[in-house]
Amino acid sequence: MRLRGLSMNLATVREQYTLAQAVDACLAQGITAIAPWRDQVQAAGLKETASIVRANKMRVTGLCRGGMFPAADKAGFKAAIDDNKRAIDEAVTIGADCLVLVVGGLPKESRDLRAAREMVADGVAAILPYARENRMPLAIEPLHPMYAADRACINTLEQALDVCDLLGDGVGVAIDVYHVWWDPKLYAQIARAGASKRILAHHICDWLVPTRDLLLDRGMMGDGVIDLRSIRAAIEKAGYHGVQEVEIFSSENWWKRPGEEVLATCAERFLTTCCLQEQSVTGE
């Protein structure tokens, strides 16, 4: 049986499987779409990853990640641009739908959040012509404000869309429920993203109460407080009917469980807590 509408971000099983093993395990569960991280691709080899993807007819819904633009000096900024161009090349080689951008936080010893956000816009602008040449969409992923200092100074969907509107075609957003579920403007901004056809990806997991670690304690869908179906309904109303990509960082729970159990639970929860359509499985 084949699941429709579900992709597995390979961070979810990074402690259990190599990239090749993860592909085999996903296929065994009927999951035919993945989103690897660059370190996983590097470990497998770029050409080998592309070969694995093609041989198994896997869809690659995104490559994680580009970004990390803000820098303390011009040399650091240039290094970030160069690295992002390499990431674009990697995404093209493996046939990814988009390159996900985690944009970066404050440069070392800086307290100037406004300047950091300006550097993000400048950084995306600097790589956008290369991305357009290679027909690789860039997906800005706003991260929860708790990450503003170190991982991403773009913290709301509104901020991400402002950058998109500034730069034009070729850049959109990845909507990760873990990062945006709390935002009182979320539904209005989802509608805005849909109107401008900016939605490139939809990532799912859950927010646990209590959360024991701000990075490594994401929950399995249905175990937390995020209204996953309402958010998905808004995203589909906005015109995006693409896959939902499970991305779970869970050092004390899901990363310690057998990979088969994790993937089977992801598939079951996708069907029971995330999917709006009754028919989410095919017999192919």
Domain chopping of the chain, boundaries: 2-282
Counting residues of the chain whose pLDDT is more than 90, the rounded percentage is: 95
> How far is it, in rounded angstroms, from Cα 138 to Cα 174?
9
DSSP conformation class of 270: I
Residue 225 half-sphere exposure toward CB, CA atoms < 13 A: 9
- pLDDT beyond 90 at 266: yes
pTM (2 d.p.): 0.97
Token digits of residue 5: 């509408």
Higher pLDDT, 284 or 37: 37
DSSP conformation class of 184: T
Model pLDDT, residue 222: 98
- Under a CB-based contact definition with an 8 Å cutoff, are residues 26 and 19 in contact? no
- pLDDT beyond 90 at 277: no
Confidence bin at 283 (pLDDT 50/70/90): low
Mean pLDDT across 213-226: 97
> How far is it, in rounded angstroms, from Cα 127 to Cα 115?
19
DSSP, residue by residue, 176-200: EHHHHTT-TTHHHHHHHHHHTT-EE
Model pLDDT, residue 20: 98
Model pLDDT, residue 281: 59
Token digits of residue 198: 């900016």
> How far is it, in rounded angstroms, from Cα 208 to Cα 192?
28
Higher pLDDT, 216 or 276: 216
Closest CA to 32 of 65, 5, 12: 5
* CATH of span 2-282: 3.20.20.150
Output the CA torsion sign for 112, 115, 121, 127.
negative
pLDDT digits (tens, 9 = 90+) for 161-209: 999 999 999 999 999 999 999 999 999 999 999 999 999 999 999 999 9
pLDDT digits (tens, 9 = 90+) for 15-67: 999 999 999 999 999 999 999 999 999 999 999 999 999 999 999 999 999 99
- Under a CB-based contact definition with an 8 Å cutoff, are residues 74 and 38 in contact? no
Mean pLDDT across 212-226: 97
Residues 6+ apart with CB under 8 A from 284: 2
What proportions of the chain, in percent to the nearest 5, are helix, strand and coil? 45, 15, 40
